[in-house]
């Protein structure tokens, strides 16, 4: 089921009543709207004056809703995630912990191949030379030992945004748009992998003692080109700053079409296909992670 995404950029008051999120303003407390908790997948709290009750936060957590909290700069700063979002977590956690190095190296190879394939597909879709990336996604080695991902990235960004563009978190526009879109994507991936019983702190390739979601950083890689396409289109429309409308547009990445073999699903639903297939790979039930091909 496709869940709703709620974005609050003004000082609303949010509370819980009869399994519903109740929304109103301090200026008009009698004018209330309500949304069933079971229909919500994501909540973004951007304004510093928003008030949220603890019962609502618990209800959102119990329903595996990703609550994204923004800092003073109105950029995503933290996430509220459920610690017990899947009843079979214990067994899946053990399979993650016990995963052999050859298995993890093979999974990372699949992720890198799927990422570069989608980068190439996006370039072709936009009329750019995506075939330049074909040698890099063909026959990726275990653990991407020769770093095809990094070499392909240099070619990809130059083809997509021009040779002068440098991808950096602190770089000039459109890096700001990419950063915001990737943060939304990362939250969606974290929600999906936890819903599949996986523990986000146990990464495949990404490892950082200060990163609580390295597995999300692994799994999201082949989905990044979906954000890149949206940012490219925003640039073509003249948007370079993170306005309210641009943020809303980037948030719609959750509803982008993703194609799995013969099935087309919204990205948010597609992430559940990917995360559940990864859990099966760890458990030894299947060998391939399910990733969509960007078209």
pLDDT tens by residue, 72-84: 888 888 888 776 6
- Tell the residue number behind the tokens 């080109």, with chain if given: 225
Q: Contact 117/293 with Cβ under 8 angstroms?
A: yes
Is the pLDDT assigned to residue 102 strictly greater than 90? yes
Q: Stretch 247-267: mean pLDDT, rounded?
A: 93
Confidence at residue 89, expressed as pLDDT on a 0 to 100 scale: 61
199 pLDDT band, cuts 50/70/90, is confident
Q: Structural domain boundaries of the chain? A: 4-80, 89-283
pTM higher than the cut 0.85: yes
Q: Torsions phi, psi of 19, nearest 5?
A: 75, 15
Please identify, in words, the CATH class of the domain defined by 4-80.
Answer: alpha beta
Using pLDDT thresholds of 50, 70 and 90, give the confidence band for residue 194: confident
pLDDT averaged over the chain?
Answer: 92
Residue 156: pLDDT band with limits 50, 70, 90 = very high
Which residue from 256, 266, 262 is spatially nearest to 227, judged by alpha carbons?
256
Q: List alpha helices for the chain, DSSP H.
A: 54-62, 89-97, 101-125, 134-137, 148-161, 175-195, 214-219, 224-236, 244-251, 267-283
Q: Would you say residue 175 has pLDDT above 90? A: yes
* Contact status, residue 9 vs residue 244, Cβ threshold 8 Å: yes
Mean pLDDT of 56-74: 91
Report the C-alpha dihedral over residues 104, 106, 108, 113, rounded to 10 degrees: -170
> What is the third-level CATH fold of 89-283?
1.20.120
């Amino acid at each position: 089921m496709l869940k709703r995404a709620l974005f609050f950029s003004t000082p609303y008051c949010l509370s819980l009543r009869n399994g519903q999120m109740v929304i109103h303003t301090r200026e008009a407390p009698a004018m209330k709207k309500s949304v069933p908790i079971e229909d919500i997948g994501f909540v973004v709290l951007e304004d510093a004056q928003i008030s949220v009750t603890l019962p609502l936060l618990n209800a959102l957590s119990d329903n595996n809703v990703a609550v994204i909290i923004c800092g003073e700069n109105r950029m995503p700063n933290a996430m509220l995630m459920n610690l017990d979002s899947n009843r079979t977590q214990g067994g899946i956690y053990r399979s993650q912990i016990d995963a052999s190095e050859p298995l993890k190296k093979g999974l990372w190879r699949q992720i890198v191949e799927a990422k570069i394939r989608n980068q190439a597909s996006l370039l072709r879709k936009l009329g750019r030379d995506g075939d330049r990336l074909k040698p890099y996604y063909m026959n990726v080695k275990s653990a991407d030992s020769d770093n095809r991902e990094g070499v392909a990235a240099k070619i990809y960004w130059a083809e997509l945004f021009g040779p002068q563009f440098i991808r950096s978190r602190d770089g000039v526009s459109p890096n700001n748009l990419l950063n915001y879109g990737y943060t939304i994507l990362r939250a969606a991936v974290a929600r999906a992998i936890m819903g599949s019983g996986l523990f986000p702190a146990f990464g495949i390739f990404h490892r950082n003692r200060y990163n609580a979601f390295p597995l999300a950083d692994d799994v999201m890689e082949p989905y990044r080109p979906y954000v890149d396409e949206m940012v490219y289109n925003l640039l073509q429309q003249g948007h370079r700053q993170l306005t309210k409308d641009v943020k809303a547009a980037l948030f719609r990445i959750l509803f982008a079409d993703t194609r799995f073999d013969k099935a087309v699903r919204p990205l948010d639903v597609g992430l559940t296909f990917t995360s559940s297939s990864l859990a099966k790979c760890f458990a030894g039930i299947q060998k391939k992670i399910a990733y969509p091909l960007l078209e």
